[in-house]
A and B are shown apart, each in its own frame.
Chain A
Amino acid sequence: MLVLGQDEKAKYPFLADAGEYLKDKGFSLVQFGSDPVLKLSVEKALHRIKVAAAGEVYKSDLIDGQASKDYVLEREVFSFLLAIVLIKLTGMSTLIKRFALAEARRAENYLEKDLGNASNKSKIDLATRIIYDLFNIEIVKENDFFVIPVSDYLIHSVTFHEREWKLINRHVENGKVFLTPDKTVRLIRKELGNYISSKIINAPKPSMIPGLENIVNELISLSKKLTPTYTITTGEYPPCIKHAIDVLEKGENLPHSGRFMLATFLLSRGQTVQQIAPLFKNAPDYNPRVTLYQLNHLAGTSGSTTKYACPSCEKLKTQDLCFITKECDNIINPSQFGKKRKQ
């Protein structure tokens, strides 16, 4: 169990035990609805959520990661804990997601500073301990870098879409990846976000605190505005799918991975197995029985009932099946092609 100093609690409030913290300080939740002094913390909590909802990172009153006065520090922790209470009272999952991400990014800034603080070994140790305790990743400092096993790096980086995160764009040596402090911390942003959101999700829902009803209602209407509405689809096929259809029409061989992509894509566009099967008629090794069996398997109508999804653009690149054009417009899966989000 991590033992945190006061400053650390303000920097990483999600590590503190909420109930215990309030009890230690001698407060109950109800007091926050009525006590005019404590109301300052409520306002701060509201501000903290609004900043997160706007996709920004809340700037705390800490200076260089340290609180100038005790009450500043207290308010930092209170406002975090109260923000969670308020979000729980709204019951809006959009707010949980946005708040967790923003708080993860805030903590990321502190972790990065602590890791990069070459002169203060205890700060580095604490930051690496936090990362180890929370995410089971062992980070070792080697000169100016932090090294982690390649397998751990892959597990955490594999969901990033920016090319710089591909393993090939990292310094790799003897089974280890070498990272700067900022990249080390960026690597765990998602997990940090998940950790914070799971803390919120698992926290018991308090009953309404008298005096906070208006704030909660304000947050509910804010959250409703954030939810994206609907998408429109042009119906056109992405270039990878057009290419696959082209290959089959010419009677050339489309590799298994290409057939998988084509079938799963068309299934995702609502086509039936019977509509898709004739596409494979020209394949050099066409066998109607096998084709139907495999299509039914992908559609989840036979075998395991698992419905297979179209592979990601990244995977298709690896399989030489990607024929990217400008129209792809940074999508990460062919099934997103031509869909536009309307706000």
Chain B
Amino acid sequence: MNENNIKFLEDSFKKYYFNHFNLIFTPQRTSEREFGYQKFNSGFFNRHISLKDDKELHLLFMQNIPSDVYCSNAYYAFPNSPMNEKDWKEADLIFDIDAKDLDLPCRKNHVVSICNECNEISKDTNQCVKCNSTKLEKKSLPCKLCINASKIEVNKLSNILIDDLGIDKENIHVYFSGNEGFHVYVFNSQFQKIGSKERSELVDYIMFRGAIPETFGMKKFKPNRSLFPDFNQKGWNGRFSKQVFGSKSKRSKIISELLDNGYSSFQKILDSVADNSGAKIDPNVTMDIHRIFRLPGSINSKSGLTKILCTDLSKFDPYTDACFLNDESVEVLANCPIEFKLKNKKFGPYNNEKTSLPTYAAAYLICKKLATIA
């Protein structure tokens, strides 16, 4: 990224941070957390930082003007020591739901390919249209469908957390990640102290992975129709019934079909339950108990949007509710073959052209490498 772009982003981010300290605060038990940050154009990750309170955090923002700020979900005795000396105590459960993992058909309409060799920008492709290179960087400008599909996954996850895993609703906090999805935090649960392997099992439960036919009534030998799940059952039995039987009146007929089709084809039914009813979370994120996550209230340098708490998920619109940079006009050279909407205003497409944009839109494009300061 060239120096003009960095200066513009640093200035815009700094203004935001200065004016919005009310949105940025340290999480509970601050002194037990590890913080980290990155600066623009620096591959270096400043990690293993410990902070006492909001004041120290705000100072970090003002002194360093970071591109991204992170905080651990884990609690340590010595958060600023090297990883193997930190003395891990426990960690909040965290789930990441990202539109890019949902295989949505809309994605090809709003992904841009940037060639690493010749910098040519084109709509989604596997080979550069100019130099045929396959080394392409993909940038997505997620649409409303992506956000809505991600919200559906958040709701599936929340239901499983509450009904099956006994989590109190008040202890589930949903944040827009600042780019393509949501981070779901679970505080004060029975799972605080469990390790990575145990969290991986929870992931499989939530995603409905690894289910065997016997669990849902299908036996290999001497199958018995009375073993199949029913609608009034809790947990995955109930969800299985709703999806596979559809309605109570169809249950008996469908069980007969399942028995006729046999044990081995039952696995396909289980796969379809996983596809439809399992929550599509990123397994690696939940399994990692030493990760640092984008700090709520900070800006995501992939988009210029803010990671922010969603108090009413159904009404939440990231392109208005998480777009906090100012409206000051700025001249950019934009090359974005896709239209996008921010703060209820349409922008683009731009064909390598000079244009004047409000700061928030200019930052959005520059963060995605689709514009530079003119």
Give residues in A with beta carbon < 8 Å to B. Answer: 149-151, 154-155, 157-158, 163-164, 166-176, 251, 255-257, 284, 290, 303-304, 306, 314-315, 317-319
Interface centre among A154, A163, A290 (most CB of B within 10 A): A154
CB <8 Å contact, B198 and A155: yes
Contacts of A255 in B (CB 8 A): 284
- Interface set, chain B 273-303, CB cutoff 8 A to A: 283-284, 287
B64 at the interface (CB under 8 A from A): no
12 more A-B contacts (CB under 8 A) besides A168-B210, A175-B166, A284-B135? Answer: A158-B198, A163-B212, A166-B205, A166-B211, A168-B204, A171-B235, A172-B236, A174-B163, A175-B190, A257-B284, A290-B43, A303-B82
B237 touches A171 (CB 8 A): yes
* A173–B234 CB distance below 8 A: yes
Which A residues touch B237, using CB under 8 A? 171
Of A158, A284, A290, which one neighbours B136 at CB under 8 angstroms? A284
Contact status B284-A256, CB under 8 Å: yes
Docked pose: A303 CA to B209 CA in angstroms: 35
A/B interface sample: 7 pairs, CB < 8 A:
A164-B212, A172-B235, A175-B164, A175-B165, A256-B284, A257-B284, A284-B116
B194 touches A318 (CB 8 A): no
Residues of B within 8 A of A157 (CB): 201
> Shortest Cβ distance from A142 into chain B, in angstroms?
13
Residue among A173, A306, A318, A319 making CB contact with B84, cutoff 8 Å? A306
Q: Which B residues lie within 8 Å of A173 (CB)?
A: 163-164, 234-235
Of all chain A residues, the one with the shortest Cβ separation from B270 is A168
Q: What chain A residues lie within 8 Å of B204 (beta carbons)?
A: 166-168, 318
Chain B: which residue is nearest A163 at the CB level?
B212
A267 to B82 alpha-carbon distance, docked (Å)? 23
- Whether the pair B193, A304 counts as a contact (CB closer than 8 A) is no
Interface residues of B (CB under 8 A from A): 43, 82-84, 116, 134-137, 163-167, 190-191, 193-194, 197-198, 200-205, 208-212, 214-215, 234-237, 283-284, 287
| CB closest residue in chain B, given A257 | B284
CA distance A197 to B137 in the complex (A): 56
**A168 touching B211, Cβ below 8 Å:** yes
Q: Are B194 and A151 in contact (CB under 8 A)?
A: yes
Asked if A172 meets B135 with Cβ closer than 8 Å, knowing A317-B210, A318-B287, A319-B284, the reply is no
CB atoms of A318 and B166 under 8 A apart: no
Residues of B within 8 A of A318 (CB): 200, 203-204, 209, 283, 287
Task: Write the chain A residue with the least CB distance to B83.
Answer: A304
User: Nearest-CB distance from A88 to chain B (Å)?
Assistant: 33
Of B82, B194, B205, which is within 8 A of A155 by CB?
B194
User: Does the CB pair B191–A151 fall under 8 Å?
Assistant: yes
Is A167's CB under 8 angstroms from B201's CB?
yes
B116 nearest in chain A by CB position: A284
In the bound complex, what is the Cα–Cα distance between A315 and B203 (angstroms)?
11
Among A149, A168, A175, A256, the residue within 8 A (CB) of B209 is A168
B-chain residues with CB within 8 Å of residue A304 when the two chains form the complex: 82-84
Residues of chain A within 8 A (CB-CB) of B201 are 154, 157-158, 166-167
| Residues of A close to B166: CB separation below 8 A | 150, 174-176
Complexed CA–CA distance, A151 and B212 (Å): 21
A251 touches B135 (CB 8 A): yes
Q: How far is the CB of B142 from chain A (nearest CB, A)?
A: 19
Contacts of B212 in A (CB 8 A): 163-164, 169
Complex CA distance for A165 and B287, rounded to whole angstroms: 19
Partner of B167, one of A175, A176, A315: A175
Question: Which residues from chain B contact A314 at a C-beta distance below 8 Å?
Answer: 200
**Smallest CB gap from A158: residue in B:** B197
Contact B84 A164 (CB under 8 A): no
Q: For the complex, what is the distance from the CA of A66 to the CA of B110, rounded to whole Å?
A: 74
Compute how far the CA of A255 lies from the CA of B167 in the bound complex, rounded to whole angstroms.
Answer: 31
The residue among B84, B193, B210 with the most chain A CB atoms within 10 A of its own CB is: B210
How far, in Å, is B218 (CB) from chain A's closest CB? 12
6 tightest Cβ-Cβ pairs between the two chains A and B: A175-B166, A154-B198, A169-B215, A304-B84, A151-B190, A167-B205
Inside 8 A of A172's CB, which chain B residues have their CB?
Answer: 164-165, 205, 235-236
Residue among B136, B190, B236 making CB contact with A168, cutoff 8 Å: B236
B194 near A154 (CB under 8 angstroms)? Answer: yes
The CA of A323 and the CA of B201, in the complex, are separated in Å by 19
Q: A residues within 8 A CB of B209? A: 168, 317-318
Determine the chain A residues whose CB is within 8 A of the CB of B136 once the complex forms. Answer: 284
Tell me the bound Cα distance from A143 to B130 in angstroms: 70
Shortest C-beta distance, A126 to chain B (Å), equals 26
Q: Closest B-chain residue to A290, C-beta based?
A: B43
A315 touches B200 (CB 8 A): yes
- Chain B nearest CB from A268 CB (Å) reads 19
A151 to B165, CA, bound (A): 9
| A251-B134 contact given A167-B202, A175-B167, A304-B84, CB 8 Å threshold | yes
Give, as a whole number of angstroms, the nearest-CB distance from B48 to chain A: 12
B210 near A169 with CB under 8 A, answer yes
